[in-house]
Amino acid sequence: MKKISKKITVTLMALLILCCTLSTGCKEKIYFTTGLNDNQLFKISGKICTVGQLNLVLYSIMEEYEEVFGEDIWGQALGDKTMTEEIKDQAFANLLDLYCITLMAEKENVILNNDEKIAITAAANSFYNSLSEETIATLAITKEDVETLYTAFYLTKKQYNSYTSNLNIEISDSAARVIEVQSIYLKTFEYDAGFNKVPYSEEKTNEIYRQACDIRIQIENGADFSTLALKYSDDETLDYVFGKGVMVEAYEMAAFALSNEEVSDVVITEDGYYIIKCIKDYLENETAQNKESLVKKYKDDVFLEVFNPYKKTLSYELNDKVWEAFDASAENVDITGFYQKYYELVEVN
């Protein structure tokens, strides 16, 4: 079952997010090579991505994650990987997509004008000059690394806009509607020692269903919903705000059928039973924001229809020795402001 949970959004600059969201599993051909030096990570169509560029992207992502989850996150497991390994792979995928999009832009003669080049150089100089000597040396960052990435960010935006800026997209309130609910959850499974879900016995599941029905009767008789949730719910979170396509289907259908202050019957899902109370059946600001997200998704899909076939034609050489040795464990480094400086001096001008 798709887990019902609040989405914690890690906010990176929009252009890096673009590359992350555009990653769809379309693989370029990969060749391992010994023809790159110790500061070169991969080569694609004559362009070389350096270790310094990987560090800039990787440690920026890590800083953002630490702001949300804390510094202890990196030793935690995420499936068969650690969080550090997952972020390392994410940074690599983002960089590879960034290079692929800029190659596509060059092929289609999407270029920077003189004012854009000047703004990018100024931003790169400003950020690089803010770095400590220790950070520069430890992460092998050069001024050219910063300028290369800032240039790639801007070319990515221009290439993306060349396919999407003239689209006429209309999203209805119904499709974008965001609601606020409270819910009481009674689970019907447990985790074993290997953190695998194990369903309860039929007898215990039936007992829990009867308990859910009893709670629903208490609500009907005037009992306070939040008080009952505090007493009975297996979910520490009481309030959820979401649009369509986020929650499991049965939960979503029941929630969106409710009006303000209405309470659902017991909702049956694969992992347990829910009782849902509608707090707001239409959140105006959140719905407007969701419309923007849906428009963005539509634009992404349009761009991907062109980008994915192009991406499949590319191949790259990976310096596997450098990649395997890269452990993202540098200490006493600080690249705060990498994306902010780009945005302040390039995007807003």
Q: How confident is the model at residue 103 (pLDDT cuts 50, 70, 90)?
A: very high
Determine which of 11-15, 158-162, 242-246, 257-261 has the lowest per-residue pLDDT on average: 11-15
The predicted structure's pLDDT at residue 60: 92
The predicted structure's pLDDT at residue 6: 30
Mean pLDDT of 283-308: 95
Phi, psi of 255 (to 5 degrees): -65, -45
Residue 221 to residues 52, 263, 266, Cα–Cα distance (Å): 64, 12, 15
| pTM of the complete model | 0.76
For 16-65, how does the pLDDT look when each residue is reduced to its tens digit (9 = 90+)?
Answer: 445 544 554 555 565 565 578 999 999 999 999 999 999 999 999 998 88
Asked if residue 246 has pLDDT above 70, the reply is yes
- B/e letters for 245-276, b = 16+ CB within 10 Å, e = fewer, are ebbbeebbebbbebeeeebbebbebebbbbbb
Mean pLDDT of 265-273: 98
The matching CATH number, chosen from 3.40.630, 1.10.3300, 1.10.3470, 1.10.4030, for 14-168+288-347 is: 1.10.4030
Asked if residue 281 has pLDDT above 60, the reply is yes
217: tokens are: 């009767």
The predicted structure's pLDDT at residue 222: 97
Question: What CATH number is given for 179-281 in this structure?
Answer: 3.10.50.40
Mean pLDDT of 229-255: 97
Domain with CATH 1.10.4030 in the chain: 14-168+288-347
Domain with CATH 3.10.50.40 in the chain: 179-281
Secondary structure element (H or E) that encloses residue 283, with its range? none
